[in-house]
Structure 1
Amino acid sequence: MSAGSLNTLELGYLRPVAKWLRCFEDLGNVVVVCLLFTLPLLEIILRNLFHLPGLYGSEQYSGHLLFILALSAGLYTQRQHMHLGLSIINIHLPFGWQRVLSSVKLFWATVILLMIGISSWVFLESFVGEEMIGVIPLRLILYLFPLSIGLFILRLMLGTSPVVSEEAPLPRWLRVLLVIAGIALAWYLSQISILHYYMNDINLSFEEQEKLFVREDLLFSGFAKIGYWLIGFTLLLFLLGFPIFLTLAGVSYVLFNLNFGQVELIPNAFYTLFTGEGNLNSLPLFALAGFILSEGNSSKRLVDFFQHLCRNLPGGIGIVVIVTSTFFTVVTGASGITILALGGLLYSIMQKAGYSKGFSIGLLTTCGSVGLLFPPSLPIIIYGTKVGVSIKSLFLAGLLPGLLITFVLCVLVVWQARKQSRKPVIADQSSRALLHKGWVAAGELLLPLFIFLAYFYFKVTAREISALTVCYALILNLVIHRDYGLRRLPTIFRNLFMTMGGILLVIGFARSYSDHFVFFNFHGFLQNYITNHIESSFGFLFLVNVVLLLAGCFLDIFSAIYILAPLISSLGEIFMIPAEQLGIIFLFNLELGYITPPVGLSLFLASYRFRVPLLKIYRYVVPFFLISLVLVLLVTYVPWLSTWLPSLFP
């Protein structure tokens, strides 16, 4: 057990209870992931072997399991003190000021958590029916939201927390007082949400309803006076290391109140993100496949093969890193998983080859998402299915842009290689050695073909592809190569929980932030603005670049496809933009969004993997971001890059 876990609760008589609670949480996480893995496999077996329609409600079950995993893994990440935050100046503050800052962050974290907890309770009470998820009442699952918030607050009060500086720990009595004060302020700020709960009571008389409406107006006017100050205060704390998921939750809460929206929409957005239409439930399984492959020697086999393949090229090690990362992203179908799975090995290789730390991390963070433009890219498949565009045409349209960014990155590493003199030593450079390395890595090299055939021949869904990829990775590492045994699986699960706990909470509350614009008809405003003020296709495409770049910062690529793709596609028809070109523009922009500060998903994953503060990740990635931005604009305004190949193979 880690030192962070041992310090979770300092009260000695509570440690046995805390230990059992941690074991229960860990077991629950394992069960949830195993069910997420098993359900799609049952779907495949029932459909292909027994010719049955499948397991009724399987996707609904998976969505609710992912909702549970987001909350339970978030608690695991809290125990490990690994929730992401941006730290600029707080680490340079004197000890006394660090204690003050820790106190303020602990207090404000309690305020935000309790406000979200109260809104989740109101959201829960809006479910008046007896809807069931399998044999489990939906309300029972939804109770996990306020329960998880309660555990977050309890751990803030009784133990060290990720919002408190480890260099300036707070005494227990002070933590208790700060949490109590935070609860009091949160209760006051949540009166609007609580009022909504009482206003839903149909038994209220007309006079009572009038009194509640008057009180609501007073609360809204009072909140309007301090709302923007609260947003500014939250963003200031964000710059001083406040967790990102709490920043997004707090800003979302204030924005909804300022715009007379119901804050219950925040937990509703969190819930619907994981349980609604989409393929986000494939993300933990692809991540699991990546961890299984990286825990063994799969990444080493791939690197050995590509290193022999590029042995005579200048800057060959950098090219190996780019090709391997791109290939692995194609294999897993999810951007960012490559950073987690291969980041450590590839970073070590680049360091040995003489590349600087900043260049290495920047390159690895960037090229982790390049494979999204190559077949059998999962986002391309989902986009084509969603908007009704030929997937084959999209595959062809993505080839040249994908090759272009790969070529530019290769030129960059070759140029950078002139500053270092160390070359990789390859004892046997013969073609026979290359064939041998290819044979050894055949399992990994054939994985994209396996995914391609699974989708197009067996007609499996994205969720089922992710489960099959886990099966493939397990067989490859446990049976064929025997890289490790079953005893290594707990380590893989722990890495998965820690990563998913941080990422899923950020994605969930980022969705509530973006839903603020959806709720206030940003779609309609955008459509009206485009149709009334933009006359040329160039102006439309520029606006698309801006909107998608911002969306890529706050939405995972699957949610962005389901939310924005139909709107962008329909508007593209007005300006006669080829469907294939618009699809690649859409995906290329979102790919760039993954490395766009401050909340690009790949930036978080890189911070996790390389144990580097986010601020340094931003600095390392900026040159690659600017290069990618130029390439995005080039693909946007030079149509033949994405339309030429589809025109050759209609």
Structure 2
Amino acid sequence: MTIGLAFLVLFSVGFPVVVAMMLPSIYYILANGFPLDSAAQRLIFSVDSFTLVAIPVFILAGNLMNTAGITSRIFNFANIVVGRVPGGLAQVNIFASLIFAGMSGAALADVGGLGRVEIKALRERGFSAGFAAAVTAASATVGPIFPPSIILIIYGAVTNTSIVSLLLAGVLPAILCVIMLMLTTAILARLRRFPREPRWPTPSEVTRGGAAALPALLAPVFLVGGMLTGWFTPTEAAAVVVLYILLVSALVYRDLSPSHLLTSAVDTVKATGAILVIVAGAQLLGWVFALEQVPQQFASAVLPDTDNTIVLLLVLNLILLVAGMFLDAGVVVLLIMPIVAPPLIAAGVDPVHLGIVSVFNVVLGLVTPPMGLSLFLISDIARVPMSRLVRELLPFYVPLFLTLMLITFIPAISLWLPNLN
């Protein structure tokens, strides 16, 4: 437990999360007489995984969609279809998050990238800065559980769970959350008289917008369908999606240029490096935890001595929600799930169901005060005081936590699609 406490202290005083994980681990290795090259071996071994190959390729797919203008076409089509719905562009914000907010693989990256565009568009249409920030923060929680989801790939890698099943399991919970958020936004729109498009689109406008966006919209459909039918693995799917996006950008939209490719490649290298360094650091710390039997100590100290899966999941939800307030969702999954997953799975919790509940929960922690990391980022982007942002977010906590409870208590929501595979 001393190593874990050292990590928390270093992180609390401002050390980067990777440094906070590695310093206590290396100290433990040296203090116990292990050769220092064992640390290097563990770091290399942790990222030497075929499963993790999907991470940079999915990031590249998302970057290509952004730099080649595919995301803007999706956003424009979403505005045509739902812009007239009560809530207008706020509904577009939520719907767009379902389609491509998970491409970056990290909720904070979604908020920092797509969120800037969405907040700017909402404010230009007459929405208050506080509400624009709140709906963007709430909708960003959808992306990390909708395929392709890098955080689910990481969960599968650290718990030896089927990546295909996890990605398929995230589809219905994500759609359920979007429906809940859109209903909440519609109610708020009626009460607050939010602006919306002045008229419903004509059939020709829908046809033109749909034709422009159709090749882009087919990318996630193609991805899910291919995995569901067993045509390709998630890692192969990532490569297929990149190839599809390249072909669509070059042959259909004809706006792919060498500068787009270079920008996408550079951004992918930066993002992949950041993610995999965290993965390696967390795996090294996890190895030290295993040597010190921290998982067993943690489980006996925190998890109740019961085989009631509902009770265990409720306790897990509380642990992950608190952890998610302080750490990025990926870091929480890397550090905590190897500790808590084995006893829960042994008690009868399905590992795929556990993955969806856990990932959605830690993402909620990012928008939960007092230390939700997304709140600070959104507050800075929108130039909105934290108190005002949290006040505007209050109505959205209802659909978010209701979704969490539904997927916790009704495993079939997560398991229906994987069971078809």
TM-score band (shorter)? Answer: 0.7 to 0.9
1:274 pairs, out of 47, 52, 67, with: 47
Q: Give the match's secondary structure for 2:196.
A: coil
Q: Give the match's secondary structure for 2:179.
A: helix
Matched, 1:567 2:338: no
CA distance in 2, matches of 1:466, 1:551: 30
Matched, 1:316 2:88: yes
Matched, 1:423 2:177: no
CA distance in 1, matches of 2:164, 2:292: 33
**TM-score, normalisation: structure 2:** 0.74
1:345 pairs, out of 109, 114, 117, with: 117
Determine if contact 2:329/2:363 at 8 Å carries over to the other structure.
Answer: no
Task: Flag the 1:260–1:366 CA change in 2: closer, same or farther, 3 A.
Answer: farther
Determine if contact 1:353/1:424 at 8 Å carries over to the other structure.
Answer: no
Matched, 1:476 2:248: yes
Matched, 1:328 2:100: yes
Structure 1 position 434, deviation (Å):
0.7
Matched, 1:556 2:327: no
Task: Flag the 1:542–1:283 CA change in 2: closer, same or farther, 3 A.
Answer: same
Determine if contact 2:142/2:174 at 8 Å carries over to the other structure.
Answer: yes
Structure 1 position 315, deviation (Å):
0.3
Count of matched residue positions in the alignment of Structure 1 and Structure 2? 409
CA distance in 2, matches of 1:505, 1:616: 33
Task: Flag the 1:450–1:561 CA change in 2: closer, same or farther, 3 A.
Answer: farther
Structure 1 position 390, deviation (Å):
9.5
* Aligned-partner residue type, residue 572 of structure 1: A
CA distance in 2, matches of 1:613, 1:246: 30
Deviations 1:129-185 (A, max 9, x none): xxxxxxxxxxxxxxxxxxxxxxxxxxxxxxxxxxxxxxxxxxxxxxxxxxxxxxxxx
Partner of 1:302: 74
Structure 1 position 443, deviation (Å):
0.7
Determine if contact 2:298/2:339 at 8 Å carries over to the other structure.
Answer: no
Deviations 1:270-303 (A, max 9, x none): 333322x463332222222112111122122111
Structure 1 position 322, deviation (Å):
0.8
* Aligned-partner residue type, residue 334 of structure 1: G
Structure 1 position 479, deviation (Å):
2.6
CA distance in 2, matches of 1:525, 1:259: 21
Structure 1 position 396, deviation (Å):
6.7
1:488 pairs, out of 238, 246, 260, with: 260
CA distance in 2, matches of 1:231, 1:382: 22
* Aligned-partner residue type, residue 571 of structure 1: A
Cα RMSD of the aligned pairs, angstroms, is 4.9
* Aligned-partner residue type, residue 347 of structure 2: G
Structure 1 position 433, deviation (Å):
1.1
Q: Give the match's secondary structure for 1:483.
A: coil
Deviations 1:560-611 (A, max 9, x none): 79846861553232xxx566654542443344356578998x849x95x997
* Aligned-partner residue type, residue 409 of structure 1: L
Q: Give the match's secondary structure for 2:227.
A: helix
Partner of 1:215: none
Alignment of 1:376-391 (within 5 A): 379=152, 383=156, 386-387=160-161, 391=165
Partner of 1:432: 204
* Aligned-partner residue type, residue 556 of structure 1: G
1:638 pairs, out of 389, 397, 409, with: 409
Gaps of 5+ in 2: none
CA distance in 1, matches of 2:388, 2:280: 26
CA distance in 2, matches of 1:386, 1:409: 32
Structure 1 position 440, deviation (Å):
1.0
Structure 1 position 382, deviation (Å):
7.9
* Aligned-partner residue type, residue 451 of structure 1: L
Gaps of 5+ in 1: 1-223
Task: Flag the 1:593–1:510 CA change in 2: closer, same or farther, 3 A.
Answer: farther
Task: Flag the 1:247–1:613 CA change in 2: closer, same or farther, 3 A.
Answer: farther
Task: Flag the 1:516–1:318 CA change in 2: closer, same or farther, 3 A.
Answer: farther
* Aligned-partner residue type, residue 480 of structure 1: V
CA distance in 1, matches of 2:301, 2:7: 31
Determine if contact 2:22/2:285 at 8 Å carries over to the other structure.
Answer: yes
Determine if contact 1:291/1:341 at 8 Å carries over to the other structure.
Answer: no
2:180 pairs, out of 408, 416, 425, with: 408
Structure 1 position 309, deviation (Å):
1.2
Counting aligned pairs with the same residue, the percent is 21
Larger Rg: 1
CA distance in 1, matches of 2:5, 2:77: 56
1:521 pairs, out of 254, 275, 293, with: 293
Structure 1 position 451, deviation (Å):
1.1
Structure 1 position 467, deviation (Å):
1.9
CA distance in 2, matches of 1:506, 1:381: 11
CA distance in 2, matches of 1:530, 1:236: 22
Matched, 1:455 2:227: yes
Task: Flag the 1:568–1:424 CA change in 2: closer, same or farther, 3 A.
Answer: farther
Task: Flag the 1:485–1:304 CA change in 2: closer, same or farther, 3 A.
Answer: same
CA distance in 2, matches of 1:518, 1:260: 14
CA distance in 2, matches of 1:396, 1:533: 28
Structure 1 position 312, deviation (Å):
2.5
**TM-score, normalisation: structure 1:** 0.51
